[in-house]
Structure 1
Amino acid sequence: MRVLLFTGKGGVGKTTLAAATAALLAGRGQRTLVVSTDPAHSLADALAVPLGPRPSPVDTALHAAHIDARTLVDHSWPALREHLGRFAAGLGLAALDAEELTVLPGVDEMLALTEVARLARTGEWDVVVVDCGPTAETLRLLALPEAIAAYLDRARVRLVADLRAVAAMAADLAAHLADLRSLLTDPATTGVRLVFTPERLVAAETRRTLAALALRDIHVDALIANRLVPRARRWQGPAAAWLRARRSEQDAVLSDLDTGSVPLHLVEHLAHEPVGTTALLDLATHLYGDKDPLTIRPPGPPLLSITPDGPDHLLRLTLPLPETATLDLARIGDDLAITIDGVRRLIALPALLHPHTITVAESDPTGLLVRFAPEHP
């Protein structure tokens, strides 16, 4: 079973490319489900079929759905409401009703991600293709399992004995979120496809997103440059001159984009809007050619590695850092807090480094190198 997550800056065509990928996989005999977690819910427009919160058939091997947090709360998650109600009561808070639950920060994203995982694990599908929201929302979505699980784990140990049942529920929820994270960070199962248009501002955001996803230890399968202007090879006139100039600008953006080991797919701007499975299959042919859309990019080096250097130890964080990245590094107890362009992650330091202090930190395009020296009495 594979899970493919499509994301990118709003308006770059991620929904259409997710739908095209799903249509191609279904056409090749894979039992495929394509779902949207994007609040805009334009997947139905791309497929030219009405969609609801439950998977419905689009073609023989293709099903599709819109995941809606409000529907999940109202119909699919009575047990969650009961647990959260008991949790709130244990803390002396009023019980939450369904309307209040949907406006709690992060709950809708957590429910959407949990529903994606549930659908992926039913065994009904060979592939689940996810049309995620725009990049910023997707990064928040993918960060939630680790962030909430870590918070609950810390909060659980602080709860007094009278709240042991609440602590147990917190532990259960933390374990559930850890399970979600294991799904997201397994490169054999889950891959992200970053969609962008070849413009400098969009490419800059794509580079930042690559670094942010690497920081979360989430595998990026491919980059997709969408809507390239076709080459006007033998055309003449003002329109042809404009096309050549615009394509030259796009090629310059792509040549400056360091993708490392991440494959880059190019898709030219089509003359017609791809709506419906027939048009989407044609688009998928432009995207993949005769390649397998499920090809897994071999994982690169681990996010974190440690090597001894005399009495010191060098900790290497392998990240594709843009030259303009804003970095911040801090030691918080036995954790290392890393912030890259506003995206922060706490990384638990190995016990080997607990009695050490940070002396030097250096960055280059391949990542971050931090030197730890033993503390002297």
Structure 2
Amino acid sequence: MRILIYTGKGGVGKTSIAAATALFLANSEKKVMLISTDQAHSLGDIFNKKINNETSQISQNLDVIEIDTTEESKKIWKNLHDYLKQIISAKANDGIEIEETLLFPGLDEVFSLLKILDIYEEAKYDVIVVDCAPTGQSLSLLTYSEKLNVLIDSILPMVQSINSIFGSFISKKTSVPKPRDIVFEEVKNIAKRLKKLYDIFHKRDTTSIRIVTTPEQIVLEEARRNYTCLQLYDFNVDAIYINKLYPEKAMEGYFKDWEDIQKHNIQLAEESFSEQKLFKLEMQNNEINGKESLEKIAKILYQNINPIEIFCQTEAFKMDDINGTRILSIKLPFLKAENISVKKEKDDIIISLLNERRRFHLPDKLRTRKITSYSYENSELKIFMDYD
């Protein structure tokens, strides 16, 4: 099975390209599931069909689903949900809408990932195509598993221990109900399943992440930042789509200056993503709506290319040993040295860049070492580690 994840800034045409790719593969006799994790779903609009949280059939080989994150969250964390509801019911005024208070921003979207895992484990499809939310939300979804596991490994055992020893006493003194063991098990199970999907997303022969952009400089810069952050978490980005290119005829006369700007930005994309497959799609004469228009742009994009091909496999990390010094090297393009900071905290290395912060749990052979220095040159961060 292949998983193709489409991400990018809002409005670049992710949904159109994801849908066109899914339809192309389905017409090529692949059994395909197309999934939208974006809260502002638009697959139903593009296929002119009502689509919801249940599987809808578009064609013989193409099924589609728009994940309802609220419904999925109710299924996945029922016991924790009921426990929190019990606390709020005991303490809150009658006027508070309890169900609304339990809709935690961001958490519902994470549960959409577990729906992907359910579909993956059914093994009914050759390809899963995922139409992700805009860049920032996509990164949060893709990296949430790692962050949640830090919480589960470090904080939850302590809370569970306190609950086991003092839970009944606290409950009597405060009237806050003692959480049942099933609540903790549910949280652990959510983390376990997210970790499983996280591992699948990192299999380079299974999952490819593909960034959709347009030739505008601001949008292209976000695509570059998106790629850098995906590298930080070692996801395999194997293709870039430059959408909504202006045709030459459209840049004649008054818009002549746009031709040079567009050429410059295309060159920037080619230089920035030299290892990835670069797809280009001109702006269409008509709105992309319905199977016929999707098939048209798929034909332009792919011609003799199979979109389930793995176009490249880049290694983000490597470790060297030079004269006893361990060097952890990470490819992080499009950054400035002053935007990077590195520190060691207990058995972890924490790397901060731009708005992202990643915690690496060190292998045994590095835990007894300290960071002596780090450098950023030629798009590569090098962390030097020696014994105290």
Q: TM-score scaled by structure 1?
A: 0.89
Q: Which amino acid aligns with 1:222?
A: A
Match of 1:314 among 327, 349, 359: 327
Instruction: Give 1:156 shift.
Output: 3.0
Q: Provide the C-alpha distance between the structure 1 equivalents of 2:123 and 2:108, rounded to a whole number of angstroms.
A: 24
In the TM superposition, what whole-angstrom CA distance separates every residue of 1:337-365 from its partner, at most 9, and x where no partner exists? Answer: 11221111101122222222212211124
1: CA distance, partners of 2:374 / 2:91: 47
Determine if contact 2:276/2:312 at 8 Å carries over to the other structure.
no
Cα separation, partners in 2 of 1:106 and 1:173, compared to 1, 3 Å: same
How far residue 181 of structure 1 moved from its aligned partner, in angstroms, is 0.8
| Partners of 1:321 and 1:364 within 8 A in 2 | no
Q: 1:163 to 1:260 in 2, by over 3 A?
A: farther
Structure 1 residue aligned with 2:27: 27
The one-letter code matched in structure 1 to 2:259 is R
Q: Given the alignment of the two structures, is residue 272 of structure 1 paired with residue 269 of structure 2, yes or no?
A: no
Q: Which whole-Å CA distance do the structure 1 matches of 2:82 and 2:163 have between them?
A: 14
Corresponding residue number in structure 1 for 2:309: 295
Tell me the distance in 2 between the aligned counterparts of 1:68 and 1:367: 40
Aligned to 1:188: 205
Query: 1:305 and 2:302 equivalent?
Result: no
Given candidates 224, 227, 231, the residue that maps to 1:207 is 224
Structure 2: distance between partners of 1:372 and 1:351 = 13
- Structure with higher helix content: 2
TM-aligned CA deviation for residue 239 of structure 1: 5.9
* 1:340 alignment partner in structure 2: 353
How many residues matched? 364
Q: Distance in 2 between matches of 1:120 and 1:176?
A: 12
How far apart are residue 281 of structure 1 and its match? 0.5
Partner residue of 2:171?
none
2:339 to 323, 326, 337: 326
Is the Cα contact below 8 Å between 2:8 and 2:134 reproduced in 1?
yes
The percentage of counterpart residues that share the same residue type is 28
355-364 or 241-250: which moved more?
241-250
- Distance, in Å, in 2 between the alignment partners of 1:153 and 1:89 is 26
Residue 161 to residue 339, structure 1, CA distance change in 2 (3 Å):
closer
> 2:373 matched to 1:360?
yes
Counterparts in 2 of 1:62-211, with a 5 A limit? 62-74=62-74, 77=75, 80-85=77-82, 98-101=99-102, 103-159=103-159, 161=161, 163=163, 165=181, 167-211=184-228
Cα deviation, 1:249-278, whole Å, max 9, x if unaligned, reads 112012123113111111111111121111
Shift in Å, 1:99 = 3.9
Which one-letter code corresponds to 2:211 in the other structure? Answer: L
Task: Tell me if 1:285 matches 2:295.
Answer: no
1:144 Cα deviation after fit: 0.9
Judge conservation of contact 1:37–1:132 (CA < 8 Å) in 2.
yes
The answer to whether the 8 Å contact 1:311/1:374 transfers is no
TM-score (norm 2): 0.86
5+ long unaligned stretches in structure 1: 233-237
Q: For residues 201 and 315 of structure 1, what CA distance do their matches in structure 2 show?
A: 32
- Matches of 1:12 and 1:184, distance apart in 2: 23
| Other structure's SS at 1:252 match | helix
The offset of 1:322, in angstroms, is: 3.5
Alignment root-mean-square deviation, CA: 2.6
Contact 2:139-2:230 within 8 A present in 1 as well: yes
Residues 94 and 339 of structure 1: CA distance in aligned 2, closer, same or farther (over 3 Å)? farther
1:325 and 1:255 map into 2 onto residues whose CA distance is: 26
The letter of the residue matching 2:295 is L
Partner Cα distance (2:387, 2:86) in 1: 47
Query: Which segments of 5 or more consecutive residues in structure 2 lack a partner in the other structure?
Result: 165-180
Q: Distance in 1 between matches of 2:279 and 2:259?
A: 16
